[in-house]
Chain A
Amino acid sequence: MSRRPEPAGTQDPARHHLSPTRTLDIDPLIEDPDTRIVVCCGSGGVGKTTTAAALGLRAAERGRKVVVLTIDPARRLAQSMGIDSLDNTPRRVKGIDDSAGGELHAMMLDMKRTFDEIVEAHADAERAAAILGNPFYQSLSAGFAGTQEYMAMEKLGQLRSRDEWDLIVVDTPPSRSALDFLDAPKRLGSFLDGKLIRVLLAPAKVGGRAGMKFLNVGMSMMTGALGKVLGGQLLRDVQTFVAAMDSMFGGFRTRADATYKLLQAPGTAFLVVAAPERDALREAAYFVERLAAEDMPLAGLVLNRVHGSGADRLSAERALAAAENLEDPRIVDQEDGKAGLRNSPDTYDSSESPAASDVPDGGSPATTDVDSPDGNTAPDADSDAGAERPVERLTAGLLRLHAERMRLLSREQRTRDRFLALHPEVAVTEVAALPGDVHDLTGLRDIGDRLAADRPELPVTP
């Protein structure tokens, strides 16, 4: 991806970024009373849960009554919000600043329990007991692929219909395709509408319903084939299960449709969460396209873990050349240092392109081999000089560290610019990387501040 041409002499580091056409403003979004649901989605390992929790906390501290629905939070994060018990009930989070009148509640999804609750709510006691005791049901509800997605959406529907909260923030399951939760209600619906279910129900309905007759011709062949594949006993379990669930299917279907519509409604906002890495942004792009295809309202992209540098006018190449200078003064013609001094006012901020960076001739940055996978660092290689000149050695280390940071920065920018070139319509907010994990409210608040900052915050670090 080529960079934009820049006016010569530009010194604003922010210009090195391809500015997104739109900036995602988090505060107006979460403060707007019309925003009732925020769904955070994205691939695994990009900080989705943390983002959801931070948004919830921020909205609550700005006066809204919020519930955060998390799927599988890291233990310490859950503990920080007081939801280390998995009881499927929203719990009030203590320790937030409630001076604006807001509240924060949090809950962790218990799939099986959610499923059980639906059964209990929709079937009479006897039938419910039959379903809950069915081995097929037990496996289905305990979390095979897909169930988590259905149940997350079901729980969202429940929370919304209780209408106790101003804002529901949902974290989505770390799905293998990251999109399963969108498909879940639809897929369930199409299954429930399908003929298969009638076939499965057939033995329980000898005589059949009106309109089912046409199936009877092939019916025995069908159940015969199913029996052959599944084994007679499993087929019977499945049939008993389906028969017992039959009365509830209408309800299921209606709920699945309602949830899907809820996701498309104006009060819902999707946030795609990603990190500035190739795979994560590729998934994010896929998500953006998919949400558009489904008419789901995308608010924007949260780009987590973006690195910055307070010294980003010093290029990686220049830093490495200087580090070499310090580590091995023997191979460096001393004039180089002086030349640097003489030219100092503008040697390193005139250019941002590696190729064009005017390294003094003696520095020969091409010889620097920091690419080697073992990252062998010169301080060890030249311990003599290092031992005698600890400050020089340290300074060389600082410069190498900086070079590494600048490499990372340019890689992140390339990845990000590629995404933005393909999706200029997407509003973006960037969250600066933190050295460690977040596991308390202070950390979440800090993330919230970073989310809401209107331009990428280059961490000049505390």
Chain B
Amino acid sequence: MSRLQVVSGKGGTGKTTVAAALALALAEEGKRTLLVEVEGRQGIAQLFETEALPYEERKIAVAPGGGEVYALAIDPELALLDYLQMFYKLGSAGRALRKLGAIDFATTIAPGVRDVLLTGKACEAVRRKDRNGRFVYDYVVMDAPPTGRITRFLNVNDEVAGLAKIGPIHNQAQAVMRVLKSPETAVHLVTLLEEMPVQETADGIAELRAARLPVGRVIVNMVRPQVLDADALELVATVPRSSVARALSSAGLGGARRGGHAERLVEPLLAQAAEYAERYALETEQRAVLADLDVPLHELPLLAEGMDLAGLYALARQLREQDVS
């Protein structure tokens, strides 16, 4: 099991939710995980129903069995100052750089620096050991940028190592790439059973593979329950309206005669079924595309009542049952 679990996915697929559920799942049985947020959106705090996370590792949840989930929202600017202090002991020069706007420049405009800091911080957490030489975190789960940017994001250190051919940045970049390209890392992609996210997932996997980054699993999120099976769908097209009306009526929904309450339900209900059939066919198609990707597939259900803390634990349980963690 890789110790750095990177979770990406197209916008709107629920990658933050899946990352959080994965962190919870991995924390079961007394393990300690760190959930890292890199996009400054405070999605983790909202999910765990806590106040905004500072740039500080703090415990946000306890998993069944006594495991712990820590969370960290990485602020690139603070991470850079941290880093300068730690590695260069810049002291007053560091402060002067900040005054000059260099820090702002580095974290917002300079190519790649921001991404280097984010991946660097996550890798640092992966490698960190306590006094007894044990890893501080059993797993680090990163809520990463979306699929369209993930390869570039993870590969940024390669690029930086190419730009800075020698020197401390070069060395740091190389060290990060060693973690990211090793089996220590797994990059998971979250998708929905819809055409665009599935297409992006396929493209994302191809890009990751081309960059020799380790592809983990594909997690299909918000899978809707199957309500009508193939037989029922076939019947939808041919069933006499009147017999559906009679069935509705016998179930207590009003009169089956023309204009009766049950009768008036028939058309809208069948229309919904036709829509369902169309969606079902599209989903079947997309499942086939995903199956061709040659990556382990997992499915998480759509939660009928929307996402909340209880739902998050339910998803974590599902991930455990599917041996994702």
- Chain A interface (Cβ < 8 Å from any Cβ of B): 43-46, 72, 74-76, 135-136, 139-140, 143-147, 174, 176-177, 187-188, 190-191, 194-196, 199, 218, 221-222, 224-226, 228-234, 237, 275, 277-280, 282, 309-311, 314, 318, 321-323, 325-326, 336-337, 339-341, 344-345, 347-348, 360, 363, 370-371, 373-377, 379-380, 390-402, 404-405, 407, 411, 415, 435-437, 459-461
Known: A139-B163, A461-B272. A231 touches B197 (CB 8 A): no
Task: Tell whether B275 is near chain A: CB-to-CB under 8 Å.
Answer: yes
Closest chain B residue to A150 by CB distance? B109
| In contact, B225 and A461 (Cβ under 8 angstroms) | no
Q: Which residues of A contact B268 (CB under 8 A)?
A: 309-311, 460
Closest chain A residue to B112 by CB distance? A144
Q: Return B64 CB to nearest CB of chain A, in Å.
A: 17
Bound together, the chains give a CA A375 to CA B276 distance in angstroms of: 15
Known: A46-B12, A144-B115, A401-B272. A222 touches B97 (CB 8 A): yes
Task: Tell whether B232 is near chain A: CB-to-CB under 8 Å.
Answer: yes
| In contact, B88 and A391 (Cβ under 8 angstroms) | no
Task: Tell whether B90 is near chain A: CB-to-CB under 8 Å.
Answer: yes
Q: Which residues of A contact B224 (CB under 8 A)?
A: 375, 404
Within 8 A of A (CB), among B83-116: 84, 88, 90, 93-94, 96-97, 100-102, 104-105, 108-112, 114-115
Bound together, the chains give a CA A339 to CA B194 distance in angstroms of: 43
Q: Which residues of A contact B159 (CB under 8 A)?
A: 139
| In contact, A401 and B227 (Cβ under 8 angstroms) | yes
Q: Return A193 CB to nearest CB of chain B, in Å.
A: 9
Q: Return B50 CB to nearest CB of chain A, in Å.
A: 16
List 12 A-B pairs, Cβ < 8 Å: A136-B111, A196-B105, A231-B165, A232-B167, A309-B272, A325-B251, A347-B253, A377-B226, A394-B232, A398-B244, A415-B306, A461-B275
| In contact, A397 and B227 (Cβ under 8 angstroms) | yes
| In contact, B244 and A363 (Cβ under 8 angstroms) | no
| In contact, A404 and B225 (Cβ under 8 angstroms) | yes
Known: A140-B111, A336-B252. A74 touches B279 (CB 8 A): no
- Give me 6 other A-B pairs in contact (C-beta within 8 A), A394-B228, A399-B269 excluded: A146-B108, A279-B16, A311-B272, A375-B227, A397-B228, A407-B304
Q: Which residues of B contact A280 (CB under 8 A)?
A: 12
The 10 closest A-B pairs by CB, nearest first: A44-B11, A375-B225, A340-B252, A45-B12, A231-B167, A310-B268, A344-B254, A45-B11, A322-B251, A395-B247
Known: A174-B11, A194-B105, A311-B269. A391 touches B304 (CB 8 A): no
Bound together, the chains give a CA A345 to CA B252 distance in angstroms of: 11
Q: Which residues of B contact A177 (CB under 8 A)?
A: 39-41
Task: Tell whether B292 is near chain A: CB-to-CB under 8 Å.
Answer: no
Closest chain B residue to A187 by CB distance? B108
Pair count A-B, CB < 8 A: 285
Interface segment out of the listed B18-26, B122-130, B180-188, B235-243: B235-243
Closest chain A residue to B13 by CB distance? A45
Known: A370-B304, A373-B301, A437-B194. A326 touches B88 (CB 8 A): no
| In contact, B96 and A402 (Cβ under 8 angstroms) | no
| In contact, B232 and A393 (Cβ under 8 angstroms) | yes
Q: Return A441 CB to nearest CB of chain B, in Å.
A: 18
Closest chain A residue to B94 by CB distance? A225
Closest chain A residue to B108 by CB distance? A187
| In contact, A234 and B227 (Cβ under 8 angstroms) | no
Bound together, the chains give a CA A149 to CA B167 distance in angstroms of: 31
Q: Return A62 CB to nearest CB of chain B, in Å.
A: 28
Bound together, the chains give a CA A384 to CA B259 distance in angstroms of: 32
| In contact, A395 and B251 (Cβ under 8 angstroms) | yes
| In contact, B269 and A347 (Cβ under 8 angstroms) | no
Closest chain A residue to B93 by CB distance? A225
Q: Return B285 CB to nearest CB of chain A, in Å.
A: 10
Q: Which residues of B contact A187 (CB under 8 A)?
A: 108-109
Q: Return B284 CB to nearest CB of chain A, in Å.
A: 12
| In contact, B305 and A222 (Cβ under 8 angstroms) | no
Q: Which residues of B contact A375 (CB under 8 A)?
A: 224-227, 301
Chain A CB within 10 A, most for which of B152, B166, B249, B251: B251
Q: Which residues of A contact B54 (CB under 8 A)?
A: none
Task: Tell whether B274 is near chain A: CB-to-CB under 8 Å.
Answer: yes
| In contact, B167 and A402 (Cβ under 8 angstroms) | no
| In contact, A145 and B115 (Cβ under 8 angstroms) | yes
| In contact, A398 and B269 (Cβ under 8 angstroms) | yes
Bound together, the chains give a CA A323 to CA B231 distance in angstroms of: 17
| In contact, A146 and B109 (Cβ under 8 angstroms) | yes
Closest chain A residue to B9 by CB distance? A45
Closest chain A residue to B243 by CB distance? A391
Bound together, the chains give a CA A93 to CA B181 distance in angstroms of: 43
| In contact, B249 and A341 (Cβ under 8 angstroms) | yes
Closest chain B residue to A183 by CB distance? B108
Q: Return A176 CB to nearest CB of chain B, in Å.
A: 4
Task: Tell whether B82 is near chain A: CB-to-CB under 8 Å.
Answer: no
| In contact, B250 and A337 (Cβ under 8 angstroms) | yes
Closest chain A residue to B300 by CB distance? A373
Bound together, the chains give a CA A322 to CA B276 distance in angstroms of: 20
Q: Which residues of A contact B261 (CB under 8 A)?
A: 344-345, 348
| In contact, B170 and A231 (Cβ under 8 angstroms) | yes
Closest chain A residue to B301 by CB distance? A373
| In contact, B236 and A323 (Cβ under 8 angstroms) | no
Bound together, the chains give a CA A194 to CA B102 distance in angstroms of: 9
Bound together, the chains give a CA A366 to CA B106 distance in angstroms of: 58
| In contact, A390 and B228 (Cβ under 8 angstroms) | no
| In contact, A310 and B267 (Cβ under 8 angstroms) | yes
Contact of A397 among B114, B232, B251, B274 (CB under 8 A): B232
| In contact, B112 and A44 (Cβ under 8 angstroms) | no
Bound together, the chains give a CA A402 to CA B108 distance in angstroms of: 49
| In contact, A373 and B314 (Cβ under 8 angstroms) | yes
Within 8 A of A (CB), among B10-66: 10-13, 16, 39-41, 43, 46
Known: A43-B11, A196-B102, A322-B253. A400 touches B227 (CB 8 A): yes
Q: Which residues of B contact A461 (CB under 8 A)?
A: 271-272, 274-275
Q: Which residues of A contact B296 (CB under 8 A)?
A: none
Known: A176-B39, A191-B104, A401-B269. A337 touches B252 (CB 8 A): yes
Contact of A234 among B108, B169, B232, B307 (CB under 8 A): B169
Closest chain A residue to B236 by CB distance? A394
Q: Which residues of A contact B148 (CB under 8 A)?
A: 72, 174
| In contact, A190 and B269 (Cβ under 8 angstroms) | no
